[in-house]
Structures are given as structure tokens and as C-alpha cells.
């Protein structure tokens, strides 16, 4: 199966990294079919205007609805022309609008989106896209407003790069060693254990003895303990409240 990804932006060059590395290879292997669209191609005035002043006043500019309406309609039409989804789970195309006001993007959402067969990213700039675009697009797409975290970027392009990378590596066949997907941070709610390679001693620091023991049971137990400690220290929000508080008499096995 090929996953189709469309990106609409006023800065197509911003998405150039999608042609290299993992996503580039997935495209060459036919697992991902990616197309970047310039929003300005869907304007009709001489200046190719995509923004205007906000109704009600306020700072900044708002993206006009008409170019977005035409761009998304064109993508939805092409999707229909290619045929209906092969599996019921894949459903309608999913429209992702990255923005700081969205639901927080995480590994669970990435896993869900990796099951879809058509993703469309709409990269907004300025103060955002006219709200009616969201309402109108709901006729053709499952619409998701997604944020990377609690900070503000200048536009959706960098967020689209981050989300497509997180999603693409979960598409079957994109990563050669599927086991590496299982043993990583956020797959089971804990951060990853620390890793070491040769040499055994370096600048006065040594590899923990247990890793040299050959005792797979002890190694697994040590790694699990490291994951719990790390998660408690760096990301206590990922642990159940009692475990994060470090109550000594409670078992913090997750």
C-alpha cells in the first residue's frame, strides 16, 4: 500500500527535506507518494494574495479562505479520481492543520495517522487561517488541528516536517528493523534506557558492569529500572501520580 501525503504551503522550499533521508527513500520505494503544493497557485489576482486584515481588528494578518478552499478542493477531487480507500480503517483523507492552538501531537496520534492512506497538511502562516476553511473542509476530510507543544512557531511548515517524520517511520516497511520501533521512548509510556558501545572505558567513564555480564535477565531488569528512574527524573508527567511522587512503599511498575 502507498500512503499519499499532500502538503499545502506558501513556502514549498521549506519542505525540501522531505526528499531526503527516510522519507525520501520511502518515496523512492513507493511506500509514500508525496506532493507539495504552492498555495499561491490557487490565487487569481496579480499579486497572488493569500492574506488580509482581520475582521474585528487586532494584530497581524489572516489567511484568506478562497485559496485554501480551492487548494483543498483540488486535492480532494484528485483523491476521489484515484479511487476510494481500500480498507474501511483508512477512511476519508485526513486534513492536518498544524497550529499552537491544536490538540497536542504525540506517539499515539502518530500511530493512528500512520494507518491512514491519505494525509493532507495545511501549513498556515501569520495569525492563522480564516475559521470557515476548517468548517468547509470537514465535508471532504477528517480534520485534525495538531500542535507540537506549548511554544509558538512562525508557521506550520516545521511542524509538518516533524509530524511527517514521526508518522512516516511508523508506516509498515519504511523502517527496516521493526523491533527498533518497539524498543523506543514513548512506545510504552516510558523513556528509553541509556545505551553504550565500545570502548569499554572512555575518558574515565566506564560502561555499567551489568551490560558486560552476559546475564540477559539482569540486563533486562537493569534497563527497566533505568527507564523508570529516567522517566521520574525528566518526565514525571508520564508516570501515574503515585509513582511520580516517588512513594517508596508503592510499586511503580507501569
CA 159, 2, 39, 135 dihedral sign is: negative
Per the CB < 8 A criterion, the answer to whether 12 and 154 are in contact is no
Choose one: 5-13, 32-40, 151-159, 211-219; the region binding ligand 6GU (CB under 6 A): 151-159
15 appears as a binding residue in the annotation: no
214 appears as a binding residue in the annotation: no
Q: 168 vs 239, which CB is nearer to ligand 6GU?
A: 168
Residue 137 binding ligand 6GU, by CB under 6 A:
no
Q: Which DSSP state fits 251?
A: -
Choose one: 58-66, 69-77, 143-151, 240-248; the region binding ligand 6GU (CB under 6 A): 143-151
**Minimum CB separation from ligand 6GU for residue 30, in Å?**
28
**Minimum CB separation from ligand 6GU for residue 122, in Å?**
11
**Can you tell me the distance from the alpha carbon of 131 to that of 101, in angstroms, rounded to the nearest whole number?**
13
**Minimum CB separation from ligand 6GU for residue 247, in Å?**
34
Dihedral, CA of residue 155, residue 157, residue 160 and residue 161, to nearest 10: -140
Residue 153 binding ligand 6GU, by CB under 6 A:
yes
Residue 170 binding ligand 6GU, by CB under 6 A:
no
**Cβ atoms within 10 A of the Cβ of 223, count?**
17
- CB burial of residue 132 (10 Å; 0-12, 13-18, 19+): exposed
| Number of amino acids touching ligand 6GU (CB under 6 A) | 13
User: What is residue 7's three-state secondary structure?
Assistant: strand
Per the CB < 8 A criterion, the answer to whether 121 and 5 are in contact is yes
Per the CB < 8 A criterion, the answer to whether 7 and 121 are in contact is yes
Choose one: 145-153, 165-173, 177-185, 231-239; the region binding ligand 6GU (CB under 6 A): 145-153
Residues 88-117 interacting with ligand 6GU (rule: CB under 6 A): 98-100
Per the CB < 8 A criterion, the answer to whether 69 and 133 are in contact is yes
- Residue list, annotated binding site: 124, 148-153
Per the annotation, binding residues for S-adenosyl-L-methionine are: 124, 148-153
Binding region for ligand 6GU (CB under 6 A): 98-100, 146-149, 151-153, 155-156, 159
Amino acid at each position: 500500500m502507498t500512503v499519499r501525503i499532500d502538503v499545502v504551503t506558501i513556502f514549498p522550499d521549506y519542505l525540501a527535506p522531505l526528499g531526503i533521508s527516510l522519507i525520501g527513500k520511502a518515496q523512492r520505494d513507493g511506500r509514500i507518494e508525496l506532493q507539495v503544493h504552492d498555495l499561491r497557485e490557487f490565487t487569481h489576482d496579480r499579486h497572488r494574495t493569500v492574506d488580509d486584515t482581520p475582521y474585528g481588528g487586532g494584530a497581524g494578518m489572516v489567511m484568506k479562505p478562497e485559496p485554501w478552499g480551492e487548494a483543498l478542493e483540488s486535492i480532494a477531487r484528485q483523491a476521489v479520481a484515484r479511487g476510494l480507500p481500500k480498507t474501511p480503517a483508512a477512511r476519508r483523507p485526513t486534513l492536518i492543520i498544524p497550529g499552537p492552538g491544536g490538540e497536542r501531537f504525540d506517539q499515539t496520534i502518530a500511530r493512528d495517522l500512520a494507518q491512514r492512506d491519505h494525509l493532507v497538511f495545511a501549513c498556515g502562516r501569520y495569525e492563522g487561517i480564516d475559521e470557515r476553511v476548517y468548517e468547509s473542509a470537514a465535508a471532504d476530510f477528517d480534520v485534525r488541528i495538531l500542535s507540537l507543544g506549548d511554544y509558538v512557531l512562525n508557521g506550520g511548515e516545521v511542524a509538518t516536517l516533524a509530524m511527517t517524520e514521526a508518522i512516516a517511520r511508523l508506516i509498515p516497511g519504511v523502517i527496516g528493523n521493526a523491533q527498533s520501533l518497539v524498543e523506543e521512548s514513548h512506545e510504552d509510556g516510558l523513556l528509553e534506557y541509556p545505551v553504550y558501545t565500545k570502548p569499554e572505558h572512555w575518558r574515565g567513564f566506564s560502561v555499567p558492569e551489568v551490560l558486560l555480564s552476559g546475564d540477559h535477565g539482569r540486563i533486562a531488569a537493569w534497563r527497566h529500572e533505568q527507564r523508570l528512574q529516567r522517566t521520574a527524573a525528566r518526565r514525571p508527567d508520564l508516570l501515574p501520580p503515585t509513582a511520580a511522587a516517588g512513594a517508596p512503599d508503592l510499586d511503580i511498575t507501569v
